[in-house]
Structures are given as C-alpha cells and as structure tokens.
Structure 1
C-alpha cells in the first residue's frame, strides 16, 4: 500500500519544480546532481526521483544516470513541433465550441481574460499580459470539457510556456495578439465554426513565427 504522506510530498515537489522550470528559474540546459537538488528541497532522493520521473514524462527534464537531472533546453525545432500540434488541437476545439454556441455568460471568463490582456497592453505590462493569455487558453479548454484533451494540451503548453517567458521581453507590446484573441471569441459567439478555426489557426501561426524568429536569433548569439 502506498504511503499517502509520501505521495503528497512527491506531488508538492513535482509542482514546485514544474513551476520553477516553467518560469525559467531553473534555467534551460542546466544540469543538477540529484543529491544537490534533494538537499535544496529538503526531500528524500526517492521522493525527488518520483517527481522527476513525472517531469521527464512531461518533456521538461532529462534524467541522466549517475549525473543527475538536466533541464531540457529551448530549441526552435521543438517549439515548432509543439506549436503545430497546439494549433491543430485548439482549432478543433474552437470549431466544436462554435458549433455548440455556448451562451455569452458561459464564455464570459474568456472575455474577462481578453479584457485583462487589453489592460495589460494599455499599461505595457508584459508579465500581466502573459498571465491573462494563459488564463484564456486554460479556460478555453475547460469550457470545451474534454479532460484528456486538456491534459495533452497543458503538457505541451508547459513546454512552450518556457520559451514564451524567455522571449517575452524581447517582443513588441502584444496589441495584435490581444485583437486576435477577441476575433476567436467573436467567431465562437457568432457560431461561425469556419471563422473560429481560421482565427485560431492564424493566431497560433503568427505567434509561432514570432517566437521561432526570436529563438533563432538567440541561438546565433
């Protein structure tokens, strides 16, 4: 029988490390011996290993025998593949939602996220904008309601999030992106599945190009 306390501790360590990786506090490419990481977190090696195995399955780290754990680096090729999958999956979600035509009040959390993006744009607060953008895509999947799809997209989004945070302050103020989110929501509210797909795919494709261009330039420095 599993120990609930140990399981809970491993979950806490998993979430802590995941957030440090997502926010790039643990830098891409960094390699850390497991004993050092266990000491830093004040946790047993066994509990740490349980959390690291999950992070490896998430595509965030690589476990290297006798050498510790490596935070996977940010590569333009990897991000290109991730955005291709995200675009396909989210476009289908947009179509399904447009066909269902949820009531406006059901979609209000999406409008609230867009409004928060606009306020952040007006204040030129890129960090606040990124948080609102994350909320939009999270709520987007929650409203759709397919839990398995949500887990798949969240795993991919966690990998892409690191690149977005690393390049956030190298971009222009995301006025256009905010407008694109509004176009997606407007198409869903109108029940226009074709336009919802087009708006979503256009948004993701442009965002991917912008991100990959920056990553390519950074790799040449």
Structure 2
C-alpha cells in the first residue's frame, strides 16, 4: 500500500482501531485502490496506518469473513476476484431484497428523529462526493444504506444487505465515471428520503431500483472475466 499511504487517515481513539482499520481497508478494496493481483500484509498496512499490527490483522480477518479478502498462507491477503457473472447475480439478489425493503420502510412512516439521522448521513455523503473523496464517500454511502435497512429491525437482513453491497464492488468503480456517479448517487439519496418521508411507497421503490440498476452499470464496468 505504499502508493496510497498518503491517502490513509490517521486512526482516532473514539472508535476501536480494529473497526476503523476495517472501514479504511474496506474502502480501499471497494474503491479499487487495493489490486486483486497484489499481496497485502498486516504489518505493512499497520505501518501505513500508524497503529499496531494486531487490530489490523483482526480487521483483515473480519474482511475475510465478509468475503472481500482471502488469506494466502504465510504471505498475506489478497482481494477476492469476482467474475462478471457473480457480480450480476449479486445485483439481482440486491434488487429482490432492497426494493421491497424500501417500499416497506416508506410504508412504516419513520419518525422525525430517524429521518433527521438519515438526512445527516445523506449530507455527509454528498459533501464527500462534491470533494471527490471516493473512499470517504463510499464509507458514508454504506452507512446511509445500511441505516435505512436497519429501520426494519431485521438484523439478518441488514447484515446480508451490507455484505452484498460490499461484494458487488469487488470489481471496482470505473475510474472514468467515478466522480459523476457518486455525485449523482448522493443527490438520489435526498430524492429517496423525500419520498420515504412522504410515505410514497411506489416512488421510493422506483428510486431505489433506478439507483441500484445505474450502480450496476458503473461498478466493474468493462472489467472482470465473464
């Protein structure tokens, strides 16, 4: 990770180093900054993050469990390679899960406090998108979508959606469309929240379906084996 060391944030004590390392490394994976054909070691990443190797190693093992990394015995870790077919299959599952979930969320009429929290997350994501900070945007975008699903109070569903969201990004974001895509996606978050706040179930469902389908066309576009 030598080439990207300057892009990594200094980890802070308000959150466990393991959790923060996991978030940073996940961002590097899904943004395509960690290459599938490269090996990454806990000591090297820990040095780049200026923390001890133990929380980084734990974070790497967490990401193995999430299906984003695979261990290479006595050598380190590699990013999992996902085929275009696997990528498409996961997106189809996401449509089956997230579209009806958003419809149900809009129907349930979230509280004012819940909506405020979601708008705050959307604002953070939009700010990172405008600044062109891809990794920060991806982490904020992940928190936004997971927080939405959490409104249903179904922990297994939330965990599954989180895992699938990460896996579809294993092919990486096409660099040519990265900036415009994240800005447009950040704007759509507000459209989605407005429809949820209005309890407009069908419009909310239509927005998330459009959001997902457009994302499918951008993530991994033109890359990865069939």
- Aligned with residue 204 of structure 1, among 188, 202, 212: 212
Q: Equivalent residue for 1:8?
A: none
TM-score by length of 1: 0.69
Task: Return the offset for 1:14.
Answer: 9.5
- Aligned with residue 163 of structure 2, among 155, 162, 174: 155
* 146 and 26 in structure 1: CA distance in 2 versus 1, 3 angstrom threshold: same
Cα distance between partner residues in 2 of 1:178 and 1:43: 34
Task: Return the offset for 1:28.
Answer: 1.6
- Aligned with residue 148 of structure 2, among 121, 137, 140: 140
Cα distance between partner residues in 1 of 2:19 and 2:119: 32
In structure 1, stretches of 5+ residues that fail to align are: 1-11
Matched, 1:94 2:102: yes
Which has more radius of gyration? 1
Q: Equivalent residue for 2:79?
A: 71
Work out whether residues 117 and 132 of structure 1, in 8 Å CA contact, stay in contact via their aligned partners in 2. yes
Cα distance between partner residues in 2 of 1:187 and 1:146: 22
Aligned residues: 198
- Per residue, is there more helix in 1 or in 2? 1
Q: How does 1:1-221 map to 2 (within 5 A)?
A: 16=21, 19-20=24-25, 22-24=27-29, 26-30=34-38, 37=41, 55-62=63-70, 70-121=78-129, 123-127=130-134, 128-164=136-172, 166-167=173-174, 170-174=177-181, 175-213=183-221, 216=222, 218=223
